[in-house]
Structure formats: structure tokens, C-alpha cells
Structure 1
Amino acid sequence: MSQINLQSTRSFSQQDLQVFGLNDLAYVRPAVTSDGEIVYMVHAANGQVMGSMQNRESAFAAVLQQGLTALSVH
């Protein structure tokens, strides 16, 4: 089995994430609302939006609370 490290996950495409771990992974990325506020979107590996949080730490905590592995996308 191949080792996956942080550096290798940075080059994952959405399709790679779907194949790799749809039920195990979620990713967090910043987004800007129409009001100019920065929020942190939580996405399932297939790209489906699962929610948004006011800060990055809360987004990662929510992912971990659901038993998923969090990846940061920026």
C-alpha cells in the first residue's frame, strides 16, 4: 500500500478524492460570501457541500467529529 503524505494530497483532483475515499475524506477550503466575509466550506470528497463554518478550526473540528479525515484545499 502506498503512503499518502500532505505533499501528495495537494495535487489530488476532485476525481482522485472521489476514488480515494468518498466515505473517509472531506476537504475544507476558504470562500468569500457576497458580503465579503471569509467562511470555510466543508466538502465531501465528491465535492458536495456539507456545510460552512466561521473559522478554519471549527471546520476541521466538524470534519473530525464526523469521523472523517480532513484535507485543506487552498
Structure 2
Amino acid sequence: MESKFDIDALTDDRMVYIREIDASDLPAELQEEVEGAEHLYAVHAASDGERLAVVKERGLAFALARQNDYAPVTVH
């Protein structure tokens, strides 16, 4: 059985993805603020990929998203 499904219908403005990033990938002025951390977690808007936040812990990234009424998902 084949039926077309609009995958874009599942995406809304409240979905974000959490992704591990290297601190060295941040702009120089932000690298100074991470206090020696090598890996951080970024929260990105699923709709356009815009980086909304960067935090030091994965759990904190999920908590931050939920506290702001976003639905977080992990990206590998």
C-alpha cells in the first residue's frame, strides 16, 4: 500500500533539536565564556536551523527547551 504523507505537517514552530557541538566551533568571543569545556550542547529551531541557545550539559539543553514550551529531539 502506498500513500503520500506530508512529513512537513509534523514540524511546527515549537520543535527544536539538541546537538552536541565542539567548543572550538564557536566564535572566539564565546569560546572565552565556556571555561575550558570541550563539548557543549546547542538548541536549534527545527523550522530553520537557527541556534537558539548553547549550554554545557545535555540535560540542561532539554530542560531549557521544555521550560520555554519547545519540544526537544536529539540529532545525531
Q: May I ask how many residue pairs the two structures share in their alignment?
A: 58
Give the aligned partner of residue 52 of structure 2: 50
Give the aligned partner of residue 67 of structure 1: 69
Structure scoring higher RCO (CA < 8 A, sep ≥ 6) equals 2
* 1:36–1:58 Cα change, 3 Å: closer
Which structure 2 segments of 5+ residues have no match?
1-6, 25-35
| 1:36-47 alignment runs, 5 A limit | 37-45=38-46, 46-47=48-49
Identity, % of aligned positions: 31
**For the aligned residues, what is the CA RMSD?**
2.3
The structure with the larger Rg is 2
TM-score, normalised via structure 2 length? 0.67
TM-score, normalised via structure 1 length? 0.68
1:33 to 3, 17, 23: 23
SS in 2 for 1:28: strand
Which structure 1 segments of 5+ residues have no match?
1-11
